[in-house]
Structure formats: C-alpha cells, structure tokens
Amino acid sequence: MDKKTLKKYKPNKDRLIRIEEQIQELCERESTVVMGKVTGSSADFPYTEVRTSVQMYDPYEEENIRRQIRRKEADRLQILKEQREIEEYINGIGDPEIKEIFELSFIEGKKQREVADIISIDRSRISRKVSTYLENAHKAQK
C-alpha cells in the first residue's frame, strides 16, 4: 500500500456517490418513442406476410443507456474494491495510534494539522509516522 492509493479513498467515496446518482438518472431516463415495423403472418390460410407499424422505444437509445449503465457499474465496482482493500489494510494495523492516524488522515480525509490536534502530537510527526509505517510495511512484504 502507498500514500497515493490511500489518499484516493476520500475522493473515491465522493465519486461513488456521483456514480450512483448517475446510474439512478440513467435508469429513470425515458427513451424516445419511435415508429417501427414488425412482420408477421395472417391468422387465416393462406398465411401471407403482414407488416404492421408499432410504437416502440428507440432500440439504439436503449442500448446506449444500457451500455452507459454497465460502464458506470464497472467503475462503481472497481472503486468499491479499492475502498475495501484500503479499509482492510488500515484495519490490519496493530498499533492503535498509527491506526487512528491512518483512519483520520485517509478514511475521514482530515488534514495533518487536524489529525495532530486530535491526537495531541506535532504535525510533522504525523507525516513521519505515516511514511515510516508504510516503508516498514513495504520492506516486510519483500
């Protein structure tokens, strides 16, 4: 895990809300009604071909809406996966102080000054603790 990935948590949370709103909007969108022709056969013998005009939703527009929904849903699932990975990483931190720093900084999106005030330590130590923890965790993985 790195800082860049961790810092995406809060913006992704906001982006997730926007994506869900867009999906909802696409689902509620009314398609244009167009005239279409269908082919069938008459009910009586000899069965002759009959063409009838019908009103129907524009199939191209419907497919375009479905494609947009699928794309948005794929984005949504990717963001949820990234968020779950970050939450699992932070939940796996054993040191309560470091864990709280990570939660405040990355999950809640607070600035280092705000985190320092909450935990009652110097702002510069927040940055050092995060960097040191990430470096040590990276070395431990190798």
Summarised one tens digit per residue, pLDDT across range 77-110 is 999 999 999 999 999 999 899 999 999 999 999 9
Of 26 and 141, more confident: 26
Residue 1 has pLDDT above 90, yes or no: no
% pLDDT > 90, the chain: 61
Instruction: Tell me what the pLDDT averaged over the chain comes to.
Output: 90
Residue 30 has pLDDT above 90, yes or no: no
Q: Tell which phi-psi region holds residue 120, choosing left (phi > 0), alpha (psi between -120 and 50) or beta.
A: left
Summarised one tens digit per residue, pLDDT across range 39-52 is 888 888 878 888 88
% pLDDT > 70, the chain: 99
Q: What's the angle, vertex CA 25, arms to CA 70 and CA 15, rounded to 5?
A: 70
Task: Give the three-state DSSP class for 31.
Answer: coil
Confidence of residue 142 (pLDDT cuts 50, 70, 90): low
- Token digits of residue 15: 């982006």
